[in-house]
Chains A and B, each alone.
Chain A
């Protein structure tokens, strides 16, 4: 009932068949983020090319279906876009996740990531969804600073 609305088919698909998983070379920055309350972890690398184009987002980690599927969706959305575009998606995703289920998702911006809308109603799980996205933001910001 409530729970299954969180476990959208798309989330389960990404969990069972993660896209772009595994750490790859070359990369500019590698970050490691953990969620201390549940032990979920992610190691994430980004490779940024000319004109801020994201050439690759590679990652490895462990955690629940929400955190792992969120990383997979992130990989799909960010790879091939630009730093600027992808950060605006991160911003919209964060807004959705922190909206306690009251925020209308912008499907134009979020694409597949709208499937996570149901997670926002579960405060304990919001951090799971955000783990890889925050790691990505951190990595991109650091790459830019290099």
Chain B
């Protein structure tokens, strides 16, 4: 294995954005990949070339361009399937983003169109999530509970930012468990295999929100033991507008369509329709063609770099950052302070200084882009009794020098507010 072999300077050359300066000649220090990642030439060029030379609608055009577009679009599905170790390409459904993928899963439960007992849901049944979820993995389940009268339950979070796997949360009444693989705030990587085992022992299905794990770690959906895995293209060097739902074929086949429209049908009469086989059953209308192809190119790019190498590089950065941030007075890390079971996302507070002020000064004076606020995880911030945090998140193109810039910036912030 050639782990640790990531040549960050060479990688940075693939990303055109790193050759630009910010206004006033500030260099760009991009520490906000947990929000959305930058894009390499390989993705940009693949999309540009497709738009320029091969573009047409997919699946329905009987001509050369239609065939080329369809081949590239379906080819992207193969690439994504291989990237996450999906047993079958038909288990990869293209959605708009992770949020849509999670909504799609939630929509199949307690749905009168779905009589499969694994998906029936009503009063007395339970949905289990956690306190560290992104709003995208909370609100769809709240809506489902409201629609069906089912009960929404959740795992709490410990003071050091771990999932509190207290017994009694998952019970025999649980029908679906949906948990983040990696927290977008804490960086915590959850024990998904154990969660899958717990869910299955209780007779429930389990979905993983892998928005923050698929871009940063080698992920094999089959090995994780989950039933559904959702992720999003724009956080993994791909474009926005494209996300993925992976699901076990047999479950996807049992689920009702989510959106109706062109391409998702087999035959239509005025009063009814039959549906296309998966994955197309879940891809109504003209899909984000070029975005899917761009995501395929992103999967290729990450495969060439090697996900083990990406993971190892981020681990080094995280170790460096946790150490360096310790030297900033009053800085409190919200999340695990050790490398064990955590990824390259570090959120923190500075006593007496609001994250908005931190982010503003870091940006304006140091060109350091971080995210500030509750990062679409308000309940988690409530849990820690804080309105907001500052979050630095790392990716394959970041350097320890950029973490130094962050630390210098934080010292300056403290001077302004001293």
Contacts and interface: CB of A to CB of B under 8 A. Distances in A.
Contacts of A1: 24, 364-365
B388 A7 contact: no
B387 A3 contact: no
Interface stretch (A17-25, A37-45, A86-94, A101-109): A37-45
A14 interface: no
A16 B357 CA distance: 13
Nearest to B363: A3
B360 interface: yes
Contact of A128 (B353, B356, B361): B356
B357 A65 contact: yes
Nearest to A5: B364
Interface residues of A, number: 23
Given A2-B24, A12-B417, A64 B354 contact: yes
Contacts of A41: 387
A122 B416 CA distance: 19
Interface string B343-378: 000000000011111001101110000001110001
A122 to B, nearest CB: 7
Task: Assign chain B's interface to a size class.
Answer: 20 to 34
Contacts of B364: 1-4, 6
A63 B354 contact: yes
A3 B368 CA distance: 13
A128 B355 CA distance: 13
Nearest to A15: B417
Interface in B362-403: 363-365, 372-374, 378, 381, 387-388
A4 B24 contact: no
A15 B416 CA distance: 12
Interface in A35-64: 37-41, 62-64
A64 B123 CA distance: 43
B407 to A, nearest CB: 18
A135 interface: no
Interface of A: 1-4, 6-7, 12, 15-16, 37-41, 62-66, 68, 122, 125, 128
Given A39-B381, A41-B387, A68-B354, 11 more contacts: A1-B24, A2-B24, A3-B361, A7-B357, A15-B417, A38-B387, A39-B374, A63-B354, A64-B357, A65-B357, A66-B356
29 contacts: A1-B24, A1-B364, A2-B23, A2-B24, A2-B364, A3-B363, A3-B364, A3-B365, A4-B365, A4-B416, A6-B360, A7-B416, A12-B416, A12-B417, A16-B417, A37-B373, A38-B372, A38-B373, A39-B374, A40-B387, A62-B387, A64-B354, A64-B357, A65-B353, A65-B354, A65-B357, A66-B356, A122-B360, A128-B356
